[in-house]
Amino acid sequence: MQTWEIIVLLLMAGGVTYFFFPGIKTMLKQSEEAEKDWPAVLIPLGLVVLFIMLLISLV
């Protein structure tokens, strides 16, 4: 890459970071305050794993 391309790429990355930073900061704050609901994730994940094990055992 040419030097000017690297500079333009860095400026674009900085602009995107500056543009999205307030939203990311708000999202992180809301995720810390959110209720943790791990069973809603682990139960379907466990069912998928069991289903895959069943499919493998049938082959």
* Domain limits, the chain: 3-58
**Cβ within 8 Å of residue 1, ≥6 positions away:** 9
pLDDT-derived band at 56, boundaries 50, 70, 90: very high
Q: What is the pLDDT of residue 36?
A: 82
d(CA 56, CA 28): 39
Range 28-51 burial, b when 16+ CB lie within 10 A, else e: eeeeeeeeeeeeeeeeeeeeeeee
| pLDDT more than 90, % of the chain | 61
pLDDT greater than 90 at residue 54? yes
Phi and psi based region of residue 24 (left: phi greater than 0; alpha: psi -120 to 50; beta: remaining): alpha
